[in-house]
Amino acid sequence: MEKISQQDLTNLHFLNTLFADLTGSDLYLAKQIKDAIDTFLLENENRSSLKTSFTQAVHKLTNHHLDDTRSSHGFCFCNASPDDNPLNLLWLRAEVFQQIKHLIHFKKATLIVTNLKKAICPKGRRWTQKRQQEYNDTLVYLRTFTCARIPSQTQLTLLFY
């Protein structure tokens, strides 16, 4: 049996959650989507100097997939660490609020917050208990913040990737 890395498993769960309407919670189908994205990224890397990240590729794919169902499902990305900057909670709050404004008109909505761990623990730093506590506090804050601002008729899926 092939051993799956933690990042690959995280990516599979991420894709399975995003494309639940397609996969029906079948990890085999999610793996096929992941393999297609990985192949695209490998080919893209060989063709050009512009490197596309997994998250950017998923963002493009979800926008394409959700074009048909825009009236019922909203989808937004929020990068917690643009340009590899450390966490700025006020900026992140404003960014999440901007994304919520786009999602309030949908029956179902998905908001993905990426690079939160990277924002709290920049490259070259150690993951400490203090940083873990800051991460946990930020998760609770963002969940509370989004729940308080999303209309009750909107079913929000909040993903941290």
Task: Judge whether 58 and 14 are in contact, CB under 8 Å.
Answer: yes
48 in the Ramachandran plot: left (φ > 0), alpha (ψ -120 to 50) or beta? Answer: beta
Could you tell me which residues come within 8 angstroms of residue 161 by beta carbon, excluding any fewer than 6 positions away? 10, 14, 55, 112, 113, 114
For position 49, what pLDDT does the model report?
45
In a domain, 131, yes or no: yes
Whole-angstrom distance, CA of residue 85 vs CA of residue 121: 10
Same domain, 103 and 155: yes
Same domain, 107 and 140: yes
Answer yes or no: is 147 within a domain: yes
Domain tally, the chain:
2
Shared-domain flag, residues 78 and 155: yes
Is residue 7 situated within a structural domain?
A: yes
- Are 108 and 137 in a shared domain? yes
Q: Is residue 152 part of a domain?
A: yes
Rounded distance between C-alpha atoms, residue 82 and residue 8, angstroms: 23
Q: Are residues 101 and 157 in the same domain?
A: yes
pLDDT of 131 reads: 94
- Whether 43 and 80 map to the same domain: the answer is no
Q: What is the pLDDT of residue 64?
A: 60
pLDDT recorded at residue 111: 87
160 and 84 in a common domain: yes
Mean pLDDT by runs of 10 across the 161 residues of the chain is 66 67 64 70 59 65 57 78 85 93 86 89 90 95 93 87 80
- Print the domain residue range for 122: 69-161
Same domain, 42 and 93: no
Position 35 scores a pLDDT of: 73
Q: Are residues 103 and 129 in the same domain?
A: yes
